[in-house]
Structure 1
Amino acid sequence: MSSQTFGKPDIEHSNPLARTMLKKLDYDQLTNCMRCGFCLPACPTFRETGVEPESPRGRIALMKAVVDGVMEPDQAFEDQMNHCLGCRACEPVCPADVKYGQLIEQTRDAIEDHAKHGAIVSGTRKLFFRGVFPHQNRMKLLGRSLRLYQKSGLQKVARGTGIMKLFPAHMREMEQILPEAASQGVVERIGERYPAKGQRIATVALFRGCIMDVLFADTNVNTVKLLSEAGFDVVIPKTQGCCGALHAHSGEMDQARELARVNVKAFKDAGVDYIVSNAGGCGALLVEYDHLLHEDESWAEDAAWFAKRVVDISTILVDKGRVPAFAEEAAEGAVPEAVAETGAAATITYQDSCHLRNVMKGSTAPRKLMKSVKGAHFCEMRDSDRCCGSAGIYNVTQPEMAGQILEHKMEHANATEAQYLLTSNPGCLLQMKLGIDKHGRGGDMKAMHIVDYLYERIARPGDEA
């Protein structure tokens, strides 16, 4: 359905937030919503509460009411906007193609312009959004510090003395399942270039991420090696930085644009054929850099060049690469009787990354790869396309709702009787590790990034970096 341009209302708002929303929101997108309700069953918060304002349609109605001067935005309005997971499951089912993700980010950007955070929240936001995430050397320092905490015995002391009880329950739970931090990132371990095995198909660049290169550096290394096995020369531009996704989701749009410019230049200078992401949350913003910078004439063309080259690791392997042969080893623990009858060694299931599925349209390729693993039985999880509750830092800022959503997810995960629960995004991976831990399934179910699972099944002795 084509969009219809209505034009913004000519209103002088007395409320500062309403004025800012009128300036920043795409009014055409607000008026495109037909209120058909197709988005309701797709929305995780609406499914949990059944309350209209907890749906995309309801939130759009609230946004439009503020912009049209029908209502004054109060704290309840702000809370409702912040209660959205930003999973964007509403977009694929919308017959009017409403860009809800852009609307919620524009609204949060406006809210943040007028937010009155306490000293602790303001300090924390400034520290991480401006002081840590954009600076790779500081992220490395954070990684080394976290590794020291984990390896020196300080972690055991903190847990044993009860210091962790000073933190909220959900923070203690997340600390329990954090993976070992890396003191060296992917570039420090394998260099800035890695050659293809066999005839080269194309030259690709790895987007290494910020948190990804600290908590999941092994996955970055395995991504490079998997791409090499599939026939790609891999370049890792050293000057790249944080993608800006957490900034965009949290109303820090100007900072997200600054980060986008850094990355566009870094990858344009590298002159690669494709830009590969192994994190659905990062990839979803990277593929929309053209929209993020479309009003900046000096960057719009290069941003469009960048956005059209972004591709998920699974998609490029399936669509462009020479997919290696994957063989499953014997399963650890008991194999479900129904699976044993098929001769499979282990059962694997998959939790979609919302942003990979809904924004990058990358739900098919991971399944093709998993089904190509010999000796493994792929069991589709019920509602695998529903958000797990991670949603960036949502499980930290909205722990109650995130916990409810995770409980439903674990009901479906447990029903698969899978030994391996795979996903394509670090946030989802941590959330599923948390769910497995809370359900006492650590002995017979393992959450893994799909890259690590696949690479382990082609890895050979002597390949370690």
Structure 2
Amino acid sequence: MNDSMDSMPLENPQHRIAALADQCVQCGLCLPVCPTYALDGNESESPRGRIAIAAALARGQVSASAALREPLDHCLGCLGCERVCPAGVRYEALLIETRALLGPAPERPRFLLEIVKRPRLNRWVQRLARWTGASHWPRRILPASWRAALALASSHNTSKPNPSPPLPRKVGRKAGIVALFPGCAASVQDADAERAAQTLLTAAGFQVVRMPAFCCGALDRHDGAIREGDAAAARLQRAWTKSGADCLVTVTPGCLSTLRGALPGVRVDDPYRLLAEHIDELSFEPLPARFALHVPCTQANVARSDTALMQLLQRIPQLALTRLPAPPYCCGAAGSHVLQFPERAARLRESVLMQIETLDVQGLLSSNMGCRLHLAAGLQEKAPALPTLHPLTLLVQQWIPS
């Protein structure tokens, strides 16, 4: 590190980025698990390449340009690299800091994201789209981001699950108080899964408190809009304090990292680990069916609850599961990535769809809302379309009330 960097205070963003980049030993073990490197075969589209770009920007060795920031914007934030890194590089922190330094991309679909982040507006727009038959609009005349958004919207409810059973009236023992954070888009698209989580957690002995529905700030923070992300974090902290809960859960693993960052010292998790810890409280009806299980990158690399999820699903008698292969296969949804880079997202998705096509299954399970809708949109182009479900929705359908 040069003298000018040594003289910078730790609070300086460039100094933090340079310090994070210096952790990288350039071993290249991240390359085989990086979906964008597999897609492009370009070093700049790898974690190692992006770290080098971030370091050069932080040290003033290069100036920000559209060509230089493109690989940083292309990053999916899947964190497969962080999981295999022998040097413990905090890649997510480096990516967020660097994107904050650059600011949001000019082509960021701000209007669409504002709809996504506001549950009431999101719900109203979806109802309007269904009423006007938006899925049949001539998409060729629309911008690519809007075409992608319509494809996601039309892929919702590709299966029609049974209504969730009523909440258990009696709880065998009190396992603790859990705050269920609905999020923004998840409170609309994953409403069935959130009701399922509340039912199953209650059956497992937890008291569930539902927090207000709003954006946690993940979309903003990962896109470089740090001011908006900080405002969302402050709102989350106030809502958490009012909840009086022991821990916080979300059914969307894509929010976990942001929630944990905003609530240091608080147990923040998805429901699977909590349910697995009290698995003896739950019983399930047999289901003679075969499902493919897609484990989202954030569930595998952030929540790290895939083992707990498998443990729960295997409690359903006669259910056969085939887990789709792990990295570098990523579906390409990745928060706003599917809207900002729909063509790249479709190319990344194709490798996952090809895996599914080789399987003889009756449905697809995926716990991340964006992944599930993105995959469902691709599957709808096939004939016939494969039903998609949140794993919690399937679990509650087979749950035996006690």
TM over 0.5: yes
Match of 1:139?
Answer: 119
Cα distance in 2 for residues equivalent to 1:392 and 1:195: 37
Q: CA deviation at 1:88?
A: 1.0
Alpha-carbon separation, structure 2, partners of 1:234 and 1:6: 53
| Structure 2 partner of 1:77 | 68
Asked if the contact 1:44/1:405 (under 8 Å) is kept, the reply is yes
What is residue 98 of structure 2 aligned with on the other side? Answer: 107
2:235 aligned residue (262, 265, 276):
262
Helix, strand or coil for the counterpart of 2:274? helix
* 1:450 aligned residue (388, 391, 395): 391
1:203 and 2:199 matched = no
The amino acid across from 1:173 in the alignment is A
2:277 alignment partner, one of 304, 319, 341: 319
Distance 2:7 2:175 in 1: 56
Q: For residues 352-371 of structure 1, what are the structure 2 equivalents within 5 Å?
A: 352-371=295-314
Contact 1:43 1:55 (8 Å CA) reproduced: yes
Residue 402 of structure 1 and its aligned partner are, at CA, apart by 1.2
Partner in structure 2 of residue 271 of structure 1 = 244
- 1:59 paired residue number: 50
**d(CA) in 2 for partners of 1:7, 1:446:** 59
1:304 aligns with 2:264: yes
Aligned-partner Cα distance in 1 for 2:268–2:274: 10
1:159–1:411 distance in 2 versus 1, CA, 3 Å: closer
Question: What does the per-residue CA deviation read over 1:314-361, in whole Å, with 9 as the maximum and x for residues that have no partner?
Answer: 1110024545122233xxxxxxxxxxxxxxx21122111211211222
Query: Aligned partners of 1:174 and 1:62: how far apart in 2?
Result: 33
Q: Are 1:195 and 1:234, in contact at CA under 8 Å, matched by a contact in 2?
A: no
Unaligned runs of 5+ in 1: 13-19, 181-185, 290-302, 330-344
- The 1:69–1:369 alpha-carbon spacing in structure 2 relative to 1, beyond 3 Å, is same
Query: Partner residue of 1:39?
Result: 30
SS of equivalent to 2:339: helix
- Within 5 Å, give how 1:4-403 maps onto structure 2: 9=5, 22=14, 25-112=16-103, 117=106, 125=110, 127=111, 139-150=119-130, 152=131, 154-155=132-133, 158-159=134-135, 162-167=137-142, 168=144, 169-179=147-157, 197-238=171-212, 241-289=214-262, 303-305=263-265, 308-320=266-278, 322-329=280-287, 345-383=288-326, 386-403=329-346
Deviations 1:31-61 (A, max 9, x none): 0100000100010000112111110001101
The question of whether the paired residues in 1 share the 8 Å contact of 2:103 and 2:225 is answered with yes
**Structure 1 11/403 Cα, relative in aligned 2: closer, same or farther at 3 Å?**
farther
Q: CA RMSD in A?
A: 2.9
SS of residue matched to 1:373? coil
Deviation of the 1:132 alpha carbon? 5.4
Deviation at 1:27, TM superposition (A): 2.3
Query: Alpha-carbon deviation of 1:374?
Result: 0.3
Q: Aligned residue pairs: how many? A: 390
SS at match of 1:241: coil
Tell me the percent identity: 28
Whether contact under 8 Å (1:388, 1:406) holds in the other structure is yes
Which residue of 381, 394, 409 corresponds with 2:352? 409
Query: Which whole-Å CA distance do the structure 1 matches of 2:151 and 2:361 have between them?
Result: 23
Structure with greater contact order relative to length (CA < 8 Å, sep ≥ 6) = 2
Q: Give the counterpart letter for 2:198 in structure 1.
A: V
Partner of 1:293: none
Amino acid at match of 1:221: R
Q: Any idea what SS the aligned residue of 1:86 has? A: coil
Task: Write the deviation string for residues 133-182 of structure 1: whole angstroms up to 9, x where unpaired.
Answer: 66xxx5224313422432x3x11xx455x4443223544433431349xx
Please, what TM-score do these two structures have when normalized by structure 1? 0.77
How far apart are residue 247 of structure 1 and its match? 0.7
Residue 74 of structure 1: CA displacement?
1.8
CA distance in 2, matches of 1:219, 1:51: 38
215-224 or 243-252, larger mean C-alpha shift: 215-224
Q: Distance in 2 between matches of 1:199 and 1:447?
A: 34
| 1:56-81: CA deviation from partner (whole Å, max 9, x where unpaired) | 00110111122233333321111111
CA distance in 1 between partners of 2:358 and 2:281 (Å): 30
**Whole-angstrom CA distance in 2 between matches of 1:453 and 1:403:** 27
Q: Distance in 2 between matches of 1:417 and 1:54?
A: 34
Task: Quote the Cα distance in structure 2 between the aligned partners of 1:370 and 1:7.
Answer: 56
Matched, 1:424 2:382: no
Contact kept in structure 2, 1:314 and 1:365, CA below 8 Å:
yes
